[in-house]
Structure 1
Amino acid sequence: MRVISWNLLRLTGAAVEDVAELARREKPDLFLMQEATKHIEELPNLVGGHFHRLSWLGRIHGLAVWSPHHFPPPTAFSLPASRLPGRLPRRRAQIVQVGEITFANVHLSHGQLLNRRQLARLATFLQGRPSAIIGDYNAVGPVLIPGFTDVGPREPTHLASNVVPFRLDRCLAHSLVCRSAYALDFGPSDHRPIRLELDLAESNTAAMAAAARKPRKDRLRRFYR
């Protein structure tokens, strides 16, 4: 499965036409966006497909997901927030289910302890499921979450003040295999899009195939036992 993730840089960054052009060129199965404004809701009018946006209370931007394929409506998952006054409102992850894989589209907080807490909460929620946490982590340095592997691109994806490079756009995966991961060229945003090829790990694929081969009567008997 081909996945693109891009922080669009609200209002002054990537417009809906830029997103549409990237979708046409890269042909992702799933396109995750951060800092997506209401204008990005025009995307299906340009490229078709299916689109959902999760706005943030008190902000003009939020998270968005697009796919050429139909998928169930995403859900919102609240993340830990700072208790200090004047901080941003509580952030939420956008949970997207595509087949057997659960994706969490994220734009985490800048606080380096807080964004680790947010990731830990998400990892607990996703525990046991083939899943990927993808987006703008705002994390500096290594991110270690038990059960998850950092499979995202290793090159910088953001230029702070257009000068200092950081690897902020990442992917943590559980029970998935990453066939390739790299950052695309800079566009109108201050973040580079990242492109990933993700598949179910062989152990999960074999388990699902074995379950599908079991006689339905046996599966129902075990369910009601």
Structure 2
Amino acid sequence: MSWNLLRRTGASVQEVARLVAEERPDLLLMQEATREIDQLPGLIGGYYARHPLPDRIHGLACWSPRPFSTEPRSVHLPPGTLIRRLSQLVDIGAFTVANVHLSHGQVLNRRQLRHIATYLPRRAAVLGDYNLVGPVLLPGFRDVGPRQPTHRMADMVPLRIDRCLVRGLACASARVLPNRSSDHHPIAVWLTPAQGGAESARS
């Protein structure tokens, strides 16, 4: 599952906890997560990591009910003119998931995706806020995320910018969840290794 929380004026940690209780994901990825979200394990248990963006109050965070295979880590992305961005890499055993909040520039965000792909193993997923319009065209990856809009630009123009790309994985289901206090809808996907693997993850 992935959700852009909209930092200060968006979803509260209590709302995030309620979403986890309702959906019971194996992995929750969050974008624009502030220090308030650090309270999440105290409310619902589980395992958590947050990586703030350089010089920003918000960043990328992840939560799981089970221990991570290795400590989540961050990689720096090709920078834009205003914001230096990261990707958070989460190893869940059967595959690796990259948590992203990409730049708005349509050339730059595709370049950032290609950079992220160089850090990922054969079985991997890239979830999050892509800020991307139109096809992605990342070699070796398929767009399996829900096709419905996930965000309204200026509260008017519906856009599908929260996405999921996979390599070496199959997607059993993909849903846009009801909106809450953020300007983005959460998305949920159910992924499994494509070549007969028994393990799966609701992300």
- Residue 81, structure 1, aligned to residue 75, structure 2: no
Query: Whole-Å Cα distance in 2 between the matches of residues 43 and 161 of structure 1?
Result: 30
The 5 Å alignment of 1:25-174 reads 25-71=22-68, 72-82=70-80, 84=81, 87-88=82-83, 90-126=84-120, 128-174=121-167
CA RMSD of aligned residues (A): 1.1
Name the amino acid aligned to 1:156: P
Deviation at 1:105, TM superposition (A): 0.2
- Once the two structures are TM-superposed, the CA of residue 73 in structure 1 deviates from its matched residue by 1.2
Could you tell me the TM-score, scaled by structure 2's length? 0.94
Structure 1: 5+ residue stretches without partners: 207-225
**CA offsets, 1:2-53, max 9 Å, x none?**
xx10000011010000000000000000000000000000001111001100
TM-superposed CA distance for 1:125, in Å, is: 2.2
Matched, 1:175 2:173: no
Instruction: Report SS of the residue matched to 1:11.
Output: helix
Paired letter, 2:22 = R
Q: Give the drift of 1:81.
A: 1.2
Structure with greater helix percent: 1
Structure 2 SS opposite 1:14: coil
Amino acid at match of 2:18: E
TM-score by length of 1: 0.85
Question: May I ask how many residue pairs the two structures share in their alignment?
Answer: 197
User: Distance in 2 between the 1:36 and 1:17 partners?
Assistant: 13
**Residue 152 of structure 1: how far off its partner (Å):** 0.4
Q: Distance in 2 between matches of 1:125 and 1:76?
A: 10
Structure 1 residues 194-209: aligned runs within 5 Å: 194-202=187-195, 205=197
* Rounded Cα–Cα distance in structure 1 between residues aligned with 2:104 and 2:184: 15
Identical-residue share of aligned pairs (%): 55
CA distance in 2, matches of 1:183, 1:144: 22
SS at match of 2:189: strand
**3-state SS in 1 of match to 2:118:** helix
Deviation at 1:172, TM superposition (A): 0.5
C-alpha displacement of 1:163? 1.1
Corresponding residue for residue 184 of structure 2? 191
Q: Which runs of 5+ in 2 are unaligned?
A: 199-203
| Structure showing greater Rg | 1
Deviation at 1:104, TM superposition (A): 0.3
Q: Deviations over 1:44-67 (max 9, x none)?
A: 111100110001121100000000
Structure 1 distance, partners of 2:8, 2:148, is 26
